[in-house]
Structure 1
Amino acid sequence: MNFQLELFNQMRRVAESDRQKGAWPPPPRSRVSILPSWACHVPLSSCLLVASLKQAYAQPIVVAWGENDNGQTNVLLGLTNVVAIAAGGFHSLALQRNGTVVAWGNNASGQTNVPLGLSNVVAISAGDSHSLALNANGTVVGWGDNSYGQTNVPPELTDAVGIAGGVGHSLALRRNGTIVAWGCNNEGQTNVPSGLSNVVAIAASGYHSLALEGNGTVVAWGDNDYLESAVPPGLSNVAAIAAGEFHSLALQNNGSVVAWGDNGFSQTNVPPGLTNAIAIAAGYGHCLALQANGIVIGWGFNYYGQTNVSPGLSNVAAIAAGGFYSMALSGNAAVVPVIQTVPAAGGAVAFTWSAELGRTYQVQYKSDLLQTNWSDLGAVITATNGTMSASDPIKAGPSQRFYRLVLLP
C-alpha cells in the first residue's frame, strides 16, 4: 500500500532567474527566485511516506527583506490569513486560507496579474517572471511571461499534486509520482529522465531540475556547469530539496542540510552549527533554513542583505528565497508543529510531531486529493508535552492515503 502524507498549504520550492547564464555581476533586473518546499519522508516497507503539514495560525504575518527594486519586499498592507508564500525574481506571491492568491512586485510580464476567478488554490510557485498555482482539483494555472511556453500548461495535466517554476520552464508532480515538464529546454532542464517515478517532491532552478524519490534519494538533470546536477554520492534519507541558480540543497530526515554546486558566494558552505532544520530555500546565491524552533538561518551572497535575518524574527512557519531577497511566514505559535517521524509499527502508520504545550492539534486524512473534505483521524489532541503522537491502523482497502496535521486556533 502506498500511504502518502501530502502537504496542502506548503509551497513547493523552486529556483528561477532571467539573467544571462554565467554572467556576473548580473544585470540590474536579473534575479533567481526559489520557493521552498518541505516534506518528511520515512520508508514504510517498500514505500516512502511523504509527511506534510498544514499550519493554521490565527494571524500569520508575511515578512520580507533584501533587494527591493521592484517592491517585491513591500508586503501588501492588510494581507492576512496567509498559509503559503512564494518568492520570484522580482515578484512575490501569497496563498490565503480561502484558496485565493495575492501578488505584488514587478509586473512587466503580467506575473502579478492573478487570473480573475482563480480560487481553490492549494499551492503556489513563482518563476522568475511567471507564476503557477495548483488547484485542489489537480489542475495547474500559469500566468506572466510565456516567452518559452512556461505558462502553457499541458492540457492533459489534471492530476498534479505539486508544482515548481524556473526561469523559463515549469514542472508538475503528478499523483502517480511522475513528472511533467514544459517550457525552455536550452540545458535539458525539461528532459525528465526516462523511467523516473515514485517522486514525492520537485524543484526547478534557472537551468536545472531536481526530484526527490520515495526512497529518499535525489535525481537531477539539466545544466551541470557548476556540478549543481551532480548529486553527492551516497546522499540518502532526504526529506526536501531546493534548487538555486547554480547550486542545490537537500534537507535530510535528521535535520541536517547538504549543499553542492557553485560556491562562489559560500552558498554551499552550510553553517556548521545548523541543526534541526525543517525547511530549506535557495536563491541566486544565498540559502535559507528554517529550524524546528521557528528561527531562520541565512548564508551565502548578502549584497542586498538577503541573509540578514532580523534578530526579532521568530515563530516562522515557512520560508522562501527570491533572487536577492527573502521571505518568511511568521505565525503566532511558539512551536511550528512538524511531523518528525512516520514509521510503520504494529500494522499502523504512527505520527510524532513537535508540539506546544496546551495547543490543540487534529490529524486529518483523505483517500483522494480530489475529495472536497478532509476526515478527522480520531479526536482532537491537546499537547501535554513537547512531543505528541497519533496513529492510523493500516487496513486493506484504499491504495493510498493523504494526511495533514492542523494546528487549531
Structure 2
Amino acid sequence: MPPRKAAATAPAASRPSRAVTKRKAAEPAEAPISKKAKAAVKPAVATSKADPAAEKGRKAPAKKAAASKQSQPAASRKTAQPTKAKMSQSTAATPAAPKETGRKRKAEAEVTAAPPAKKVKPLVKGAVINEPPTERLNIYVFGEGSSGELGLGTAKNAVDVKRPRLNPNLAADKAGIIKIVAGGMHCLALTHDSKILSWGVNDQGALGRDTQWEGGLRDMDAAEDSDSEDGDDNGINPRECTPTAVDFSETEVAEGVRFTDVAAGDSCSFALTDDGRVYGWGTFRKGDGIFGFTSPGNVVTRPVLIPDLKKITAIATGSNHALALDSTGAVFAWGSGEQMQLGRRIIARTQTEGLTPRQFGLPKGPKNGITQIASGADHSFAISKNGAVYSWGCNNFGETGIAAGAGEDNACVTNPTIITSLNGQNITHIAAGTHHTIAATEAGECLVWGRADSAQTGIDMDDIKKMPEDAIIRDAKSDPRIIMIPQPVSEIEGEVSAVAAAGDQCIAITKGGKAWSWGFSSNYQTGQGTDEDVEVATMIDNTAVREKKLTGADCGGQFGLVTERVLRN
C-alpha cells in the first residue's frame, strides 16, 4: 500500500496549548486550532488553536468594564417647592380629585401591591455518593514557575525548577494534600480537612480568591535559572504563588458537606462534593477571547454552585470545556464547543447554549453506562461498563483515535464514536495533551497515539518509521507525523498504573513507583533537567525522588508534578 500522506493543508506544529513557552514555534499553525494562549501564558492543559510556544508572556487580567455615565441613573431632580402663599393659591384653584371607590379602587390596589418575599430554602446535604481519598501526599514539582504555578512561594529559585523538588508548602505533614491537579497555569489541591487550595495565574478568576497585590513588576530575563536553595525574593505576586484556600465565604455550601475531587482547565476550576454537587469558578475561553462561565462573557471570581448538575461522581476538564459523570452513568458536557468537544454540534447562533451542562450521545444505564471520563485540550473520552472507549472533539492529528479526517484542516469528531482499535485492551486510565493521547491498560501496558512529530509519543522516531503504513500518516517529506493506531511505549520498564499529559509532554507512573516522562521540555516540564525535547520515554531520576515510591502525576502547560503517598488520614 502506498504511504499515506497528510493533507497539504494539514495542521502544522502547535506547541503545548496550555501555556506559552520560551521557545519559538518551529512552524506556523496550519489548522484553526481554536484555543487560547493564555495571554502571555497559559492556555493550559490547552488550546488546540494557536501554538502558544511562539512567545512567552502573561495575559493581562480581564478589565472590568467601567460603567458609562449614561448607564447610571440620573440623579432625581427635586421639584421646586412653592411658597406657603403660592401653595394655598394653587390648592384653592385646583379642586381635589374625587376619591375612587368600589371595584376600580380594589383592582388598582391589587395590581400595585408588592408580592410577598420568597423564602430561600437553605441547601441541605444529600446522600453521600462520593468519598475523598484517604492518603496524604508529598508533592514534587518541576518546570516553569515564573507565574507561581509551582506553589513554591516567592523564593528566587522557584522560577525554573529543572528536576523534581519537594514542595515544602504542600508537605504531607503540613498541608495534608489528598488530591492535586494541574491546569494550564494554575493548580488546585484538596486537603484532608476539605479545604481547596489554589495557586498560579489568576487573571480570569481561576484561583477563586482575591490575589490583588501592591508589588511591582519584575524583570523575568534577570531571573536566574537555578536549582539552588539560595535566592532572594523573585518579585512574583505572593498571593498567587503561595497555596491559599479558595474563598467560599460568599458561597452557600450545605452543612456537613465534604469536597472529594477537583479539576482545573485553562482559566476554569471545579470542585465536587460528597453528595454529588459541583461548584465552579473562572471562565471558559474561545478563539476570540472570553466566552463566559455562567452567562456569555462573564468571569466568576468566587465559587458558584452549578445547579444543573446533581448526583455527580466524577469531573474532568479540557482547556475550555468540562465533563461530569453522574451516578446513573450519564455524561454532561459544557463550555466552549468550537472543536465539537461537547459531543454535540454547536453553531454560532446558539453557541452560548454550551455554557449549560447537557447530556449527549453516550450510552447510559446499568449495563452500558459510562464509568470513566477524561479530556485533552479539545478532545474527550469516556469508557463504558462494557469496556468500550468513546472519543469526540478535535481530530486534526488523529488524537481521538478515529481515522476519519485525521491529518486534515478543521477535522472534528462531532459525536461520541467508539475507538475500535482499543477493543479488548481493557483501558483503565486515559490522559491527553493538545494533539496526542496516552492510555494505560489493565495489563500495565502504556499506549499512545496522535501527533508524533515532536516527541509527543515517547517512541523513537526510527521505530515509528518502521510501523505499518496503515498505522501512520506522513508529512510532505514522507516523515511520520501522526500515529493512527495506538502503539505501546516499549521503552518504559515495568507495568504502568497511571498516566498524565498536557501540551506536548507525558508522564507515566509504574506500579513499582517510578516516573517516566518525555516530550517538549523547553521549560523543563519533563523533569529531566534539559530544555531540549526528550524524544524517548526516560525515567525521572534525581535525589529528590530516587528512593521514593511515586503514585501519581499531572502536567500543566509548562510544568509538571509527581506525588508520593506517605500518610493515611
Bucket of the pairwise TM-score, normalised by the shorter protein: 0.5 to 0.7
Corresponding letter in the other structure for 2:433:
G
Tell me, in whole angstroms, the C-alpha distance in 2 between the residues paired with 1:53 and 1:239: 20
Question: In the alignment, which of 543, 551, 554 is matched to residue 317 of structure 1?
Answer: 551
Q: Tell me if the contact between 1:85 and 1:318 (Cα under 8 Å) persists in the aligned partners.
A: no
Shift of 1:247: 1.1
Higher mean displacement: 176-185 or 230-239? 230-239
Tell me, in whole angstroms, the C-alpha distance in 2 between the residues paired with 1:30 and 1:176: 41
- Structure 2 SS opposite 1:64: strand
Matching residue of 2:329: 177
Say which structure, 1 or 2, has more relative contact order (CA 8 Å, 6+ apart).
1
Q: Tell me if the contact between 2:377 and 2:502 (Cα under 8 Å) persists in the aligned partners.
A: no
Question: In the alignment, which of 272, 280, 284 is matched to residue 142 of structure 1?
Answer: 280
Corresponding letter in the other structure for 1:222:
G
Corresponding letter in the other structure for 1:220:
S
Shift of 1:148: 3.0
Corresponding letter in the other structure for 2:53:
P
1:265-344 matches, cutoff 5 A: 265-270=454-459, 271-274=489-492, 275-307=494-526, 308=528, 309-312=540-543, 313=545, 314-332=548-566
Q: RMSD value over aligned CA atoms?
A: 2.6
Tell me, in whole angstroms, the C-alpha distance in 2 between the residues paired with 1:238 and 1:151: 34
- Structure 2 SS opposite 1:187: coil
Corresponding letter in the other structure for 1:212:
I
Shift of 1:22: 4.3
Cα-to-partner distance string for 1:107-129 (whole Å, 9 max, x where unaligned): 11121122315761101111011
- Structure 2 SS opposite 1:25: helix
Q: Tell me if the contact between 2:132 and 2:259 (Cα under 8 Å) persists in the aligned partners.
A: no
Shift of 1:216: 2.3
Tell me, in whole angstroms, the C-alpha distance in 2 between the residues paired with 1:78 and 1:66: 17
Matching residue of 1:56: 135
Corresponding letter in the other structure for 1:164:
A
Kindly tell me: are residues 144 and 311 of structure 1, through their superposed partners in 2, closer, same or farther at Cα, counting changes over 3 Å?
same
Shift of 1:69: 2.3
1:255-270 matches, cutoff 5 A: 255-270=444-459
Q: Tell me if the contact between 2:324 and 2:333 (Cα under 8 Å) persists in the aligned partners.
A: yes
Matching residue of 1:191: 343
- Structure 2 SS opposite 1:148: strand
Tell me, in whole angstroms, the C-alpha distance in 2 between the residues paired with 1:156 and 1:241: 26
Corresponding letter in the other structure for 2:504:
G
Moved over 6 A (4+): none
Kindly tell me: are residues 242 and 151 of structure 1, through their superposed partners in 2, closer, same or farther at Cα, counting changes over 3 Å?
farther
Matching residue of 1:240: 429
Matched, 1:90 2:90: no
Tell me, in whole angstroms, the C-alpha distance in 2 between the residues paired with 1:151 and 1:290: 36
Matching residue of 2:247: 115
Cα-to-partner distance string for 1:61-84 (whole Å, 9 max, x where unaligned): 211101222110134654321111
Matching residue of 2:399: 228
- Structure 2 SS opposite 1:21: coil
Tell me, in whole angstroms, the C-alpha distance in 2 between the residues paired with 1:208 and 1:30: 25
Tell me, in whole angstroms, the C-alpha distance in 2 between the residues paired with 1:107 and 1:233: 41
Tell me, in whole angstroms, the C-alpha distance in 2 between the residues paired with 1:71 and 1:257: 31
Tell me, in whole angstroms, the C-alpha distance in 1 between the residues paired with 2:151 and 2:566: 21
Kindly tell me: are residues 16 and 166 of structure 1, through their superposed partners in 2, closer, same or farther at Cα, counting changes over 3 Å?
farther
Tell me, in whole angstroms, the C-alpha distance in 2 between the residues paired with 1:150 and 1:62: 30
Matched, 1:167 2:305: no
> What stretches of structure 1 of length at least 5 have no aligned partner?
1-14, 32-51, 334-407
Kindly tell me: are residues 136 and 151 of structure 1, through their superposed partners in 2, closer, same or farther at Cα, counting changes over 3 Å?
farther
Shift of 1:30: 8.4
Q: Tell me if the contact between 1:189 and 1:209 (Cα under 8 Å) persists in the aligned partners.
A: yes
Question: In the alignment, which of 271, 283, 291 is matched to residue 133 of structure 1?
Answer: 271
Tell me, in whole angstroms, the C-alpha distance in 2 between the residues paired with 1:181 and 1:212: 15
Matching residue of 1:369: none
Whose Rg is larger? 2
Tell me, in whole angstroms, the C-alpha distance in 1 between the residues paired with 2:434 and 2:558: 11
- Identify, as 1 or 2, the structure richer in helix: 2
Cα-to-partner distance string for 1:96-151 (whole Å, 9 max, x where unaligned): 11121101111111211223157611011110111111111101111112433456
Kindly tell me: are residues 30 and 237 of structure 1, through their superposed partners in 2, closer, same or farther at Cα, counting changes over 3 Å?
farther
Q: Tell me if the contact between 2:150 and 2:559 (Cα under 8 Å) persists in the aligned partners.
A: yes
Matching residue of 2:86: none
Matching residue of 2:53: 25
Tell me, in whole angstroms, the C-alpha distance in 2 between the residues paired with 1:53 and 1:238: 23
Cα-to-partner distance string for 1:9-53 (whole Å, 9 max, x where unaligned): xxxxxx94454614363442589xxxxxxxxxxxxxxxxxxxx99
- Structure 1 SS opposite 2:53: coil
Normalised by the length of structure 2, the TM-score is: 0.49
- Structure 2 SS opposite 1:70: coil
Q: Tell me if the contact between 2:132 and 2:261 (Cα under 8 Å) persists in the aligned partners.
A: no
Tell me, in whole angstroms, the C-alpha distance in 2 between the residues paired with 1:208 and 1:19: 10
Kindly tell me: are residues 16 and 82 of structure 1, through their superposed partners in 2, closer, same or farther at Cα, counting changes over 3 Å?
same
Corresponding letter in the other structure for 1:159:
K
Matched, 1:209 2:443: no
Tell me, in whole angstroms, the C-alpha distance in 2 between the residues paired with 1:233 and 1:30: 41
Identical columns (%): 28
Tell me, in whole angstroms, the C-alpha distance in 1 between the residues paired with 2:206 and 2:272: 15
Corresponding letter in the other structure for 1:330:
E
Tell me, in whole angstroms, the C-alpha distance in 2 between the residues paired with 1:191 and 1:129: 21
Q: How many residues align?
A: 299
Matching residue of 1:371: none
> What stretches of structure 2 of length at least 5 have no aligned partner?
1-42, 60-130, 154-167, 209-245, 285-289, 296-304, 345-359, 403-418, 460-488, 529-539
Tell me, in whole angstroms, the C-alpha distance in 2 between the residues paired with 1:189 and 1:290: 27
Kindly tell me: are residues 310 and 215 of structure 1, through their superposed partners in 2, closer, same or farther at Cα, counting changes over 3 Å?
same
Corresponding letter in the other structure for 1:234:
S
Corresponding letter in the other structure for 2:549:
N
Cα-to-partner distance string for 1:257-279 (whole Å, 9 max, x where unaligned): 11111123221235423231111
